[in-house]
Amino acid sequence: MSFQPLLPGSTSPSGQQITLGVMGGGQLGRMFVQAAQAMGYFTAVLDPDPASPAGLISHYHIRAAFDDQQGLAQLMQRCDAVTTEFENVPAPALLSLGAQRRVAPSAACVALAQDRVQEKNLFLRCAPHSGVRPAPYAVIDSAAAAAGAAHELLPGILKTARLGYDGKGQVRVATRAELVDAWEQLGQVSCVLEKMLDLQAECSVLVARSANGACVSFPVQKNTHQGGILTRTEVYPGVLPEALAQRAQASTAALAQQLDYVGVLCVEYFIVSAGAAALELVVNEMAPRPHNSGHYTQDACDLSQFDAQVRTLAGLPLPTPRQHSPALMLNLLGDLWFEPNAQRSQRSEQAVSPPWDQVLALPGTHLHLYGKLQARHGRKMGHINITAPSVAQLRQTSVQAQALLGLAD
Ligand code: ATP
Ligand code: MG
């Protein structure tokens, strides 16, 4: 399938400026809006929050719930094409938009990514093409399934099939009795029990795929999580074994092709030991949109993940992205606004801005704050991308930035 590109800065047959829309006004929506506006598009955001990060900077902000028929109708009238910034948009809303407007990724792809059970089925189906399998798992959707779960899956992690993020909706369990309790604690909803793997590392891969089937990969990200939340991403030659990185890229492209996916897709992988110093890749989950681990592309590549989202949505060409600098991204959680650190002596519950002036004095630091008006513990407030001419310099700048911010290594 291909279609006439929506050229930047042009007008539609009805005479209105070509406008790209996004479902959701969070930070990912904001960075999509920034990329689209940089290219001369008008933008529209649907989000009920009057202070949503994307809504605050968009040409149009439709303040309505994601399933509000009037809001959706308004979005459709405003926009020539619509994308999404989070996977939990109601699939029927995307379906109805898709009946009259170009929507990428499709409602079907987004619906699949909303549900871990469907996602795992896809991973299993794709294993012969992608060469990568998910962690051993079982669907737990009844007390009987919990009580009878296979011993080989314990210790494991019970994850709700829907609506989990940043480690929320997950409980670690060591025994069947704990599993039964955990399933009740999670509200007796459909869940997946995954075997707890001994992770050597984690990585993720972004691909962008056009409506005509052209697919490009970004360099593979090595990710560090703390408490289930991504804290750091590193991308430079040698950060991961090359053969493994290539397999992760091939696997992600195979998944995108299997789904006939259009847009930016991120797939997360675990790296586990396979004996005798060999490493194996295990597929964890996917996001039908740009991803926190892909923010490094904004400053280290000649095409960012948000540029790619704009291009795939508008039907523009999609050259292979090139990384021009070693890169490291640090997530900035709201805790930084409260925590004491080496440079700031007093602990206070009054939010205080971190010492950006000192951080920005370091060469190759790129600050991205999301315009969230209130800092809260654990809230993603922004990120810093660090770029450098060499990996040694990158590490040095990172150590300095982390010391200034009181961020652990
Ligand atoms: P996200 O914010 O990426 O959407 P999420 O809440 O959907 O997160 P997962 O990606 O499933 O959750 O898990 C979060 C983190 O927990 C993983 O990145 C990994 O560090 C750890 N984890 C998850 N599943 C396993 C597993 N089977 N074995 C070991 N560690 C795991
Ligand atoms: Mg994850």
Interval 21-71: pLDDT, tens: 999 999 999 999 999 999 999 999 999 999 999 999 999 999 999 999 999
Segment 172-187 shows an average pLDDT of 94
Q: Among 127-136, 281-290, 307-316, which stretch is predicted with the lowest mean pLDDT?
A: 127-136
Tell me the fold of 19-103: Rossmann fold (3.40.50)
pLDDT of residue 340: 62
Buried/exposed code over 267-305 (b: 16+ C-beta within 10 A; e: otherwise): bbbbbbeeeeeeebbbbbbbbbbbbbbbbbbbbbbebbb
pLDDT of residue 408: 84
For residue 14, what pLDDT is reported? 85
Would the pLDDT of 100 be above 90? yes
Indicate the DSSP class of residue 57: G
Q: Cα angle at 198 between 193 and 204, to 5 degrees?
A: 80
User: Which residues is 263 bridged to in the sheet?
Assistant: 209
Domain ranges of the chain: 19-103, 136-195, 199-405
Q: 366 pLDDT exceeds 50? A: yes
pLDDT value at residue 345: 47
Tell me how far apart the alpha carbons of residues 272 and 56 are, in angstroms, rounded to a whole number.
42
Q: Say if ligand 1 is within 6 A of residue 197 CB.
A: yes
Contact 172, 153 (CB under 8 A): no
User: Can you read off the two tokens belonging to residue 145?
Assistant: 């399934």
Q: Give nearest CA residue, ligand 1 atom 16.
A: 228
CATH number of 136-195: 3.30.1490.20
Ligand 1, atom 15: closest residue by C-alpha: 228
Q: How far is the CA of 167 from the centre of ligand 1 (A)?
A: 6
Which CATH superfamily includes the segment(s) 199-405? ATP-grasp fold, B domain (3.30.470.20)
- Mean pLDDT, range 138-163, rounded to an integer: 94
Residue 1's pLDDT is: 47
Cβ–ligand 1 contact at 231 (below 6 Å): no
Residue 3 Cβ contacting ligand 1 at under 6 Å? no
346 CA to middle of ligand 1, Å?
34
Q: For the chain, give the percent of residues with pLDDT over 90.
A: 88
The residue ranges of DSSP E strands in 18-174, in sequence order, are 19-23, 42-46, 60-62, 81-84, 102-103, 133-134, 137-140, 156-160, 170-173
Ligand 1 atom having least distance to the Cα of 167: 6
